[in-house]
Amino acid sequence: MELHVLNHPLVEHKLTVLRDKNTPSSTFRELVSELVMLEAYEATRNLSVVSTPIETPVAPTLGKKLAAPRPLIVPVLRAGLGMLDGMTRLIPTAEVGFLGMKRDEEHPTQQVTYANRLPDDLTGRQCFLIDPMLATGGTLVAATHYLAERGAKDVTAINIIAAPEGIKFVEEHIDPSIDFKVVVCAVDEKLDDKCYIVPGLGDAGDRLYGVID
């Protein structure tokens, strides 16, 4: 597993405002989108490209375009949807799949899959899993293996914040045959007794979309 933690003044500034409990949902959503674009720039560094001949207004030249098959962006519902706009702004030609997973509250590292809208065959696809929080790591491992079962061998997770316990769990449980990378804005202090990240930013889904009873 390759872990990349962004180190940039803009990321630190935006993350500070994002964490503030007084930041309204409208600003929170915009900041998530902006942070994801900054993360995506790093996460897409190794996208496959092909040489393409073009003509500029001055002369013919050889450029590069994204190779087929197109990258696949997979938000983990529901909080991952808040990151989708930032990703598609940067990679507008990417395809989008959806994966609904939720944590089993009695067994925090185990997941329940309740929705799936993905291609059956992901062979050769570069996949990007987006979810704001890497807390226990259970969702990320389950989602990555879910993609791998369909043939994906190149998976990059983009999370805004992570807990050390979650990173450790992923390192210990991810299938080593997968070319797996994680990009985060920050690694926080710890998980609390309810498996929430400390200091964290609260429930990302609730702050993006409001509380659903």
* 128-179 per-position pLDDT tens digit: 999 999 999 999 999 999 999 999 999 999 999 999 999 999 999 999 999 9
Q: Does 58 fall in a domain?
A: no
The pLDDT, as a whole number, for residue 100 is 83
Q: Does 60 fall in a domain?
A: no
Task: Confirm whether residue 100 is marked as ligand binding.
Answer: no
Q: Does 86 fall in a domain?
A: yes
Q: Does 185 fall in a domain?
A: yes
Task: Confirm whether residue 201 is marked as ligand binding.
Answer: no
What's the whole-number mean pLDDT along residues 5-18? Answer: 95
Task: Confirm whether residue 129 is marked as ligand binding.
Answer: no
Task: Confirm whether residue 167 is marked as ligand binding.
Answer: no
pTM of the model: 0.90
Task: Confirm whether residue 133 is marked as ligand binding.
Answer: yes
* Domain carrying residue 190: 2-49+66-209
Going from the C-alpha of 113 to that of each of 86, 146, 171, 196, the distances in angstroms are: 25, 10, 22, 20
Compute the mean pLDDT over every residue in the chain, rounded to the nearest whole number.
Answer: 91
Per the structure, the count of domains in the chain is: 1
The pLDDT, as a whole number, for residue 206 is 86
**pLDDT over 80 (residue 183):** yes
Shortest CA distance to 73 belongs to which of 32, 125, 116?
A: 125
CATH of the domain at 185: 3.40.50.2020
Token representation of residue 198: 């400390």
Summarised one tens digit per residue, pLDDT across range 26-52 is: 999 999 999 999 999 999 999 999 999
**pLDDT over 80 (residue 118):** yes
Task: Confirm whether residue 156 is marked as ligand binding.
Answer: no
Task: Confirm whether residue 23 is marked as ligand binding.
Answer: no
Task: Confirm whether residue 210 is marked as ligand binding.
Answer: no
State how far the Cα of 26 lies from the Cα of 86, in Å rounded to an integer.
15
Task: Confirm whether residue 134 is marked as ligand binding.
Answer: yes
